[in-house]
Amino acid sequence: MNARLLQKIAREHGTPVVVIDHEIIRRNYASFRRHLPKVQVYYAVKANPAPEIIRTLYQVGASFDVASLPEFMLVYENIKRLPPKDRQQFIWDKIVYANPIKPKETLQALDRYKPLVTFDNRAELDKIRRYAPRAGLALRLRVPNTGSMVELSSKFGCDPGEAVDLIQEAFGCGLVVEAISFHVGSQCTNFDNFVQALNMAAAVMQEAAQRGYEIKILDIGGGFPVPYDRHVKPLSQLARKINAEIARLFPSDLQILAEPGRYLVATAAAAVATVIGKAVRDGKTCYYIDDSVYHTYSGIIFDHCQYTLKAFKKGKTEICAVFGQTCDGLDTISHAQELPELDIGDLVYAENIGAYSSASSTWFNGFPPAKLVHIHQ
């Protein structure tokens, strides 16, 4: 993102501020569709639920993956421009409720929309039968998450050996399993996870067909990696593997969807903060900025992500520590950041911070979240 523009916005709006460039979001969406042309994009709203982002992605053709009733309503409220007669169909075609565990109150509220909802166990199947019998079902499989930045398989997914029995039980109690889904873990840099997961899903679908149950949709989840550093292989390499396996394993008329979140928004945002304090501890310069791990840098804690801080000021760099503004020792942004010598009042920034960052901001210590500034160009 343009450094002069970031400085200009920081002067106009103050800091901390997060700048979101919607042209980058549109480019990321176009890139995903170009590399995976058979896959419908269901944006994972949890990555960044800003209404402006939802509207931009809706306008370019995206669907949505939600994980809570508030997320569902956020998407629904942002498509009210549709004619009333089209909204019911929109819900079925454009939203998947991808959280395998749902409160009964959520299921009751969703039932009238006939949504597509995920499940991975018998207790959840019974809840859906009782409280959302008009929902379509997606059975989530447990698949390898080895090498992914955020592992999900220990929390979600049924054993593939139990999958077809669950499908049979669902049909037996009057429900319809529309889809098989999986998730290889967030920021997946081990592309073999996708290959193994696709083969597992194909085996489950084949066994289900042998028992007379046709599955019409495959949801390949999220995990599409973002180039946080030069070691991350590009989406084009992953897409070649996925496209080859899809062509080999599945019928051509199968509907395929994915749930990218990070890939669409991470590179579209930069955070700017002001140096508010400076000290030397054990021979190392320490800077304190007016943001924190309880705010824009929450991804350090919750997303296992490390951001590179940069300065607008030029000069010889040295290893220093950077801390957040809160009165908590956990609020450490980096113990080893390379920065030039800075003064109180100087600005620093971090790029690629659009996913799982401001979305998790709190008001800890009374500090408000950073202001969001959207550039639509």
Nearest-angstrom CA–CA distance, 203 and 164: 10
pLDDT tens, 337-356? 999 999 999 999 999 999 99
What integer is the mean pLDDT of 269-290?
97
Which residue shows structure tokens 């390898």? 144
Whether 157 shows a pLDDT value over 80: the answer reads yes
What is the residue extent of each domain of the chain? 3-18+267-375, 22-265
- Looking at 2.40.37.10, 1.10.3470.10, 3.40.50.720, 2.130.10.10, the CATH number of the domain 3-18+267-375 comes to 2.40.37.10
pTM of this structure: 0.94
Lowest mean pLDDT among 3-12, 15-24, 76-85, 118-127: 76-85
What average pLDDT does the chain have? 94
pLDDT of residue 146: 87
Which structure tokens are listed for 58? 């809706």
Q: Is 327 a catalytic residue?
A: yes
pLDDT over 80 at 83, yes or no: no
User: In this predicted model, what pLDDT tens digit does every residue of 236-276 receive, in sequence order?
Assistant: 999 999 999 999 999 999 999 999 999 999 999 999 999 99
For 22-265, CATH gives 3.20.20.10
* Section 217-246 average pLDDT: 95
Across 187-216, average pLDDT? 96
Is residue 76 over pLDDT 90?
Answer: no
Read off the pLDDT of each residue in 113-131 and give the average, rounded to a whole number: 95
Q: What does the pLDDT read at residue 86?
A: 47
Q: Of the residues 158, 188, 320, 327, which is catalytic? A: 327
Whether 293 shows a pLDDT value over 90: the answer reads yes
Distance separating alpha carbons of residues 74 and 66, to the nearest angstrom = 9
Amino acid 88: pLDDT: 46
Q: Please, which residues have CB within 8 angstroms of residue 99's CB and are 6 or more apart in sequence?
A: 66, 67, 68, 118
Residue 10 in this model has a pLDDT that exceeds 90: yes
